[in-house]
A and B are shown apart, each in its own frame.
Chain A
Amino acid sequence: MEITKDEVKKIASLSKLEFTNQELEKFTKQLEDIMNMSHQLSKINTDGVKPTINVTDAVNILREDVAEKGIDRNELMKNVPEHEDGFIKVPAIIDEGEDNE
């Protein structure tokens, strides 16, 4: 199969990643090679075979619906890059220029 640079751009955007043009060239070729390797699976007959998502015997595990003490809020905030008054700080969701969208 063939993968185009535009497809890779689209996958990058879905993945919340961005690449320079040069990186994009390299990744396109590598992704194509790897996907071609994986595509060899299409030759294997899997008619009627059920998928395996997980190899545990477990199905649904239930616990009593009892409240437990959680982790201290100040502890949780320790690794937050920016916070103020117990809230996580982020930049504005939209730029000024995008107001009309």
Chain B
Amino acid sequence: MDYLKNDLTSLHQMLVNKELSASELMEATFDGIAKREPQIDAFLAMNKDEALKQAAAIDQRGINADNVLDGIPVGIKDNMVTKGLTTTAASKMLENFNPIYNATAVERLENAGMVVAGKLNLDEFAMGSSTETSAFKKTKNAWDQTKVPGGSSGGPAAAVASGELIAALGSDTGGSIRQPAAFNGVVGFKPTYGRVSRYGLIAFSSSLDQIGPMTRNVKDNALILNAIAGQDKHDFTTSPREVPDFTSKIGKDIKGMHIGVPKEFMDVDLQPEVREAVQNAIKTFESLGATVDEISLPHSLNGIQVYYIVATSEASSNLQRYDGIRYGFRAKDVKNLEDVYVRSRSEGFGDEVKRRIMLGTFSLSSGLYDEFFGKATKVRTLICNEFENIFKDYDLILGPTTTTAAFGFGEKTDDPIAMYMNDLLTIPMNLAGVPAMSIPGGFTKNGLPVGIHLVTPRFDEETLYQAGYAFEQATDFHNQIPTIGGQN
């Protein structure tokens, strides 16, 4: 299947017109995956037999002409549980874990007629920014296979960018949807905290984690969010607010929109082509009738320090459940119960996960709690307040998603702080819970994609999609196609 030349609407039309059956689409999808996977390595598990069965069932009952997602294959980051389909979080700890229920987001996609084609690679337990901490494989950037795909949703990003799939679900705790989206030239969307249920998302940092869609264009993205958003009785942090049609403002002009560009985001050390892409984006938005001002979010860049206390603290607590007793890896030849815990965890977790558990335990330990965790939660309040104040005067914040384009394998694996700095510009939005999106905004002179980062107030995803779509229609970056293994 050539997903690089189609979108959800055009595929749906083909299915409705019977130019293509759901089964043919599924076969073609797996053919495409088989062709590209040797170069990309995005998948941890294929769901081929079950997916073909589901597609045949859809053909039998007929495509629902009013449901654009019906019969479309989708990929799921492997930290969302899928009933009967191995879910590993890219960790040896869960190598053979076979879930007995579906994550709510997955369940909702299936209820909307989508079919899970497979599970996609990530950094172990979503901890990382290059997908290199996966215990199983190294996923490659769709545009240059010597470069990382970003992370932690590197598998979903590379699968969508390379045309293996038209859409995938990722998760974003500090930038894990948006940074790989930027690195692979796709649209990555982190909804407002509380918009999408986290039930069945393997917990990393529960006050920050959020599931979101990754697609090749803005409208497809909104269509997927329509299906997964909304309150869930299994996740009490989901909002009871009514879910709007996220495509409702797509296509409306953005004349008079007030856009702010935080000077803090432009004052950091940006790769020249990234800076240039943001400056061009500002001009594009101005030409569409928006006004663009420089603004200030003074504490936003302290987000990275807050994050590595808050996220690791929550992780150290969340990951206590991996004890080798009820599920997951259990070490061999253990002589007592304590041994089961310590050896199973020490052998089952990789270095980055251990590092974060240690950091979190440290930040929460008696005597240091006020100085670290307590302080971080107060600075988090300052960051939340700054966003709230800016959004009294502005509709949208614009900036770079990342400071650089994709980097090479192994470049940052020995230097945790250099790796952590990848999320400098994406973390503040998780801390404040606001929705944010990375959209294709240019290329470096070496042909690597650059992402533009857009942010709106909590629960105003419609404006985010409206602005993203307006930018997308005014530019041509999203139509560029990567060359994989010498072929388009």
Contact = CB atoms under 8 A, between A and B. Distances in A.
- Are A and B co-members of a single complex? yes
B192 to A, nearest CB: 9
B376 interface: yes
Interface string A6-45: 0010011011111100000001001101110111111010
A91 B381 contact: no
A71 interface: yes
Contacts of B308: 34, 37-38
A49 B381 contact: yes
Contacts of B358: 8, 11-12, 15, 17, 27, 31
A76 interface: yes
B207 A54 contact: yes
Interface in A73-90: 75-76, 78-82, 88, 90
A51 B327 CA distance: 35
Given A31-B359, A76-B100, A53 B305 contact: no
B362 A35 contact: yes
B375 to A, nearest CB: 5
Interface residues of B, number: 69
Contact of B384 (A15, A27, A55, A75): A55
Interface in B257-288: none
Given A17-B342, A17-B354, A56-B237, A90 B325 contact: yes
Interface in B207-258: 207, 233, 236-237, 239
Among the interface residues B299, B304, B337, B384, which one has the most CB atoms of the partner chain A within 10 A?
B337
A41 B373 CA distance: 11
A20 B339 CA distance: 16
Contacts of A63: 233
A93 interface: yes
Contact of B382 (A17, A42, A49): A49
B380 interface: yes
B417 A81 contact: no
Given A42-B371, A61-B236, A75-B100, A93 B305 contact: no
Given A17-B357, A51-B380, 4 more contacts: A19-B346, A37-B420, A79-B98, A91-B336
Interface of A: 8, 11-12, 14-19, 27, 30-31, 33-35, 37-42, 44, 46, 49-58, 61, 63, 71, 75-76, 78-82, 88, 90-95, 98
22 contacts: A11-B358, A17-B346, A17-B354, A17-B358, A34-B355, A37-B417, A41-B306, A41-B376, A44-B299, A46-B375, A51-B377, A51-B378, A52-B431, A56-B239, A57-B194, A71-B100, A76-B100, A79-B100, A81-B330, A91-B334, A91-B335, A92-B337
Interface of B: 96-98, 100-101, 193-194, 207, 233, 236-237, 239, 299, 302, 304-306, 308-309, 316, 320, 323-330, 334-337, 339-343, 345-346, 349, 354-355, 357-359, 361-363, 365, 371-372, 374-382, 384, 416-417, 420, 431-433, 458
